[in-house]
């Protein structure tokens, strides 16, 4: 199989998408109105939210760099690559579950921007999780 449909290419694309998502977190708070939402909270709450947002962004970038830069090594079937694929599968699979089981539809229903975000993120998390699970299965059945 050649082109973008290969597992290696899909891993690289997922990696690029995750790096992009991490970088997107630099503008996300303003897009969804967090400064005004947090204005009435304590300084501690604002700083904790900012710190968590930074670490979520950093996590997305770092977890994205792994498949973007090291896709062949991840698919080689070694113990470290297999463990990393397993961890990514669990991590992003859990994020997928949260999209449907934890985040209330009340957060996005009736708001065009947030509905668009939900509609876009649902297939994104499905794709990201699916690629990592497919890669993990690939190395486990070799």
Q: Give the pLDDT confidence of 34-53 residue by residue, as tens digits.
A: 999 999 999 999 999 999 99
As a whole number, mean pLDDT of residues 90-104 equals 95
CA–CA separation, 129 and 96 (whole Å) = 7
CA angle 121, 123, 126 (to 5 degrees): 105
Element (H, E) at 75: helix 43-75
Residue corresponding to tokens 């204005």: 39
Signed CA dihedral, 68, 70, 72, 76: sign only:
negative
pLDDT of 57 over the 90 cut: yes
* Domain boundaries, position 70: 3-140
State the total domains in the chain.
Answer: 1
Asked if 85 contacts 135 with a C-beta cutoff of 8 angstroms, the reply is yes
Residue corresponding to tokens 């947030």: 114
pLDDT of 4 over the 90 cut: no
pLDDT confidence bin for 113, thresholds 50/70/90: confident
pLDDT in tens, 7-39: 999 999 999 999 999 999 999 999 889 999 999
pTM value is 0.92
Where is average pLDDT lowest: 31-35, 73-77, 137-141? 31-35
The alpha carbon of 70 is separated from its chain's Cα centroid by a whole number of angstroms, namely 17
pLDDT of 1 over the 60 cut: no
């Amino acid at each position: 199989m050649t082109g973008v449909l290969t597992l290696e290419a899909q891993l690289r694309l997922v990696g690029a998408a995750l790096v992009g998502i991490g970088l997107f977190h630099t503008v996300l708070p303003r897009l969804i109105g967090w400064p005004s939402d947090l204005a009435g909270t304590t300084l501690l709450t604002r700083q904790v939210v900012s710190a968590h947002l930074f670490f979520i962004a950093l996590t997305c970038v770092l977890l994205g760099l792994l498949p973007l830069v090291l896709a062949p090594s991840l698919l080689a079937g070694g113990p470290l690559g297999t463990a990393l694929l397993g961890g990514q599968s669990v991590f992003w699979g859990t994020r997928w579950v949260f999209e449907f089981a934890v985040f209330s539809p009340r957060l996005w229903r009736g708001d065009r921007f947030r509905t668009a975000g939900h509609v876009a993120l649902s297939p994104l998390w499905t794709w990201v999780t699916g690629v990592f699970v497919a890669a993990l299965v690939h190395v486990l059945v070799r």
